[in-house]
Amino acid sequence: MLKIGGYFELELPKGKELHKNCVRLNSGRNSLEYILRANEYKKIFIPYYTCSVVMEPIIKLNIDYEYYRIDRNFLPMQISVGKNDAILYTNYFGIMSDNIPQLRAKHENIILDNTQAFFAKPLSDVDSFYSCRKYFGVPDGGYVYSRKKLADKFERNKIIDNTSHLLERIENGPESGYKSFIRNDKAFDNKPILKMSRLTEKIMQSIDYDYVYSRRNQNFKYVHSRLSDRNQFTVPISNNICGPLVYPFLYEHNTLRDELIEKKIFIPLYWENVLRQVQIGTREHNLAKYLLPLPIDQRYSIKHMRQMCDMIEQCIDD
């Protein structure tokens, strides 16, 4: 029924989403669950170096799993994947797309975790999923490209009580809304598959994706020009940079992360669960302990990147 008049809603420009011809769900982890259910996999191989939330749908569906290690190029090591098994591969930091052809040549059933690679193009013969929240200020959202589809009809996610962190950050800065952010993040634990909320869908239709892509690339390349000589991880900058999530800076320095946080440069930890799962001295342990995912996103200019690099160099040299 047509509804006219009343108070104004939040006004957003109407454009087009970057991802089309896909299934829109409420989260990345539920996007993985969708693919697992649609394909009825009985076993999946997952990397040690990954977020613990990927285990949620695997455990929920009672799927057998096996961990694998990655080599210096972030490719799987020493695994034997059965014809009816699947391998989950993470497009780390949004810069590992050039590894995909090697995987496709070896494995039939790849599930590509593109939650860190929003701008990576989907492949027709590879199931993949994306996260909206890692790249944009939205309360929920995931995209799924699956060769097989579920017949289920999912309810729409209702997120009206999970938006305060977005508004608090605008009004009062990141520290003010952090508790709300954590609360919203925890709200996704063990949540069923739902359709993406209407609010997120509208926000995703309002984004200037060309600008976001360009700004992330520019910032990434600038940080690399400043820090590559100190970076203990050889960043594959020769690849076609494709709107990365972060700049991965690996430097064995026990207090660098905390020093940067004190200077109001907020650096996440990828991922604390890995430190408990693998032996000290392994590649995965060193990555989890020392790798700093430096923010290079669309909110920031080269001026911000210069200031951040100056602070990092100062902390290292002091």
> 23: which 2 tokens?
């299934």
Classified as helix, coil or strand, 208 is coil
Question: What whole-number distance in Å separates Cα of residue 200 and Cα of residue 7?
Answer: 21
What residue segments make up the domains of the chain, in order of their start?
23-204, 209-317
Fold of the CATH domain 23-204: Aspartate Aminotransferase; domain 2 (3.40.640)
> Which stretches within 127-251 are classed as H helix?
164-172, 174-186, 198-204, 209-227
- Whose CA is closest to 22, among 158, 127, 139? 127
Entry pTM: 0.93
Fold of the CATH domain 209-317: Aspartate Aminotransferase, domain 1 (3.90.1150)
Q: Could you read off the pLDDT tens digit of each residue along the chain, which spans 318 residues? A: 777 887 778 888 999 999 989 999 999 999 999 999 999 999 999 999 999 999 999 999 999 999 999 999 999 998 888 888 999 999 999 999 999 999 999 999 999 999 999 999 999 999 999 999 999 999 999 999 999 999 999 999 998 877 878 878 888 877 777 787 888 778 788 889 999 999 999 999 999 999 999 999 999 999 999 999 999 999 987 667 899 999 999 999 989 999 999 999 999 999 999 999 999 999 999 999 999 999 999 999 999 999 999 999 999 987
Question: What whole-number distance in Å separates Cα of residue 88 and Cα of residue 47?
Answer: 7
pLDDT of residue 239: 63
- Contacts of residue 242, Cβ cutoff 8 Å, sequence gap at least 6: 94, 95, 97, 117, 119, 120, 213, 217
Q: How many CB atoms lie within 10 A of CB 173?
A: 11
Task: At 251, give phi and psi (nearest 5°).
Answer: -150, 120
Question: What whole-number distance in Å separates Cα of residue 51 and Cα of residue 133?
Answer: 15
- Contacts of residue 88, Cβ cutoff 8 Å, sequence gap at least 6: 32, 44, 45, 46, 47, 50, 54, 111, 113
Question: What whole-number distance in Å separates Cα of residue 110 and Cα of residue 103?
Answer: 8
Sign of the Cα torsion 133, 135, 141, 144 reads: negative
